[in-house]
Structure 1
Amino acid sequence: MDAAIPSFDLACWRGAVPRMSVAHTHDDLEFNSAPVELEYLVDGRQVVIPAGALAVFWAARPHQLVRDSGGSELAWLTVPLAQARGWRLPGEFLTRMFAGGVAVAAEAVGPLALAERAASWSTELAPTHPLHRAAVTEVQAFVLRAAFATAAEGPVEKVGGGLRADVADMAAWIAQHAAEDVTVAAVAAHVHLHPNHAMSVFRHALGVTIGEYLAQCRIARARELLLTTDAAIPDVAASAGFGSLSQFYARFRDHAGEAPAAYRRRHAG
């Protein structure tokens, strides 16, 4: 799977999944639940979603399922951010999403039972399906309920067992220092590894290079600034850690599928 995907569109599916081979990003709100614990790396943090809970995060932050579901079925829903923002979601909820938070509702039951709806939504959300409009209305109601239900819940973070500790430490350090002049040598020194070895174990675990993961973190920060501030594009690039404006434009287009100004305009309102 490509590490940079503009969006998965409005889609829902259910099934057993292996650990993800690559850390990736896409500009959707991602909802998921499973009858077993799910261990993710989200924006450099190890996050464990409790069994039976419903979790949501902004997938523009680099993320990766680092432990498989053990044969249990995971239910997923992706909603393009531009579409979700038109649904008047709570400001507190969106602020948390843009900042890289993971919101959790303790139980995915009743109106939040994503797994029960996945079978019908997986087909009815197809644009040509005769029930498409009805399914979109149902998803909108689900997303609004989830946003309010998770507003008071905090993210569940702890050290899990799906990643090498040194890789997790490197990912966390990169996310924390992404706006700075980060080098492979500095990342490796943080975990007391030779740079070549650090690059090797990092790529083996996360499926991307240290440089690509750094770019994912910087692009996520740039997206946040474009959505939440009126800062000029060069200031956004600098604040996100890009020393070159041309590099910022190229990286942003690779990850978001459009120029920064176009991205800001599409999400305005």
Structure 2
Amino acid sequence: MLRLIFIFLYMSGYLVYSIPKLRKMQALPKGMSVKEKDILIQETPKKWSETIMKMTGSKVEVRGNHNLPDGPVLIVANHEGDFDIPLLLGFLNKPFGFISKIEVKKVPVLSKWMDVMNCVYLDRKDRRQAVRSIREGVKMLKEGHSILIFPEGTRSKGGPIEEFKSGSLRLAKDAGVPIVPVSIEGTAEVFEKNGRLIKPANITLTICPPISFEEYQEKELKVVAKELRELIIMNRKEYKISS
């Protein structure tokens, strides 16, 4: 219980503390390159996330950061639990925004940080709004920003990886960018499997080699979604065998 309280207090306090930095990020000059801007903007969320993961007492192993290419990519990951975003922000060596449920837009300060990070809000109950969100995400990718999606659409909470919904992959196909599959193992052990209390866990983050636009452009998105899911499952199995 103490870990949960400390993490909640840290998260809330850091958001307030970060407001001056947020204003600076909102006022970055337009002449800066997308890459420079994104790296600067990501510094604060990265520190925040690294500290959160450290406070859980977990051990994080990262494999394959060298597989992250330059330029915009669509990052596709399985979704175990609430600590997936802090894990990825803290340990993935590439700035990115992500697709988030629209309810988060109501959270003060946090939503403003997400805006400068080029996150996209999705309302799954509103089909028209969802289509607009996909278009906005495509625009972000074409401008040079990377985006993360969880195509399961919900947390597996440590259970089997759910089927990947193919619609969100339209982001990559319409923008013509590579897809980077990412495998997450162990975040559900931190929170979801503990009666919603925080406990240390062994976490593995595996970044697979990118799939170029040319490799998937002629395939149906349902086929691409199935192949990505199988690749992520295979990487998790390989890690268990080797460890």
TM-score, length basis structure 2: 0.28
Q: Which has the higher contact order (CA 8 A, sep 6+)?
A: 2
Larger radius of gyration: 1
TM-score, length basis structure 1: 0.26
The structure with more helix, counted as a fraction of residues = 2
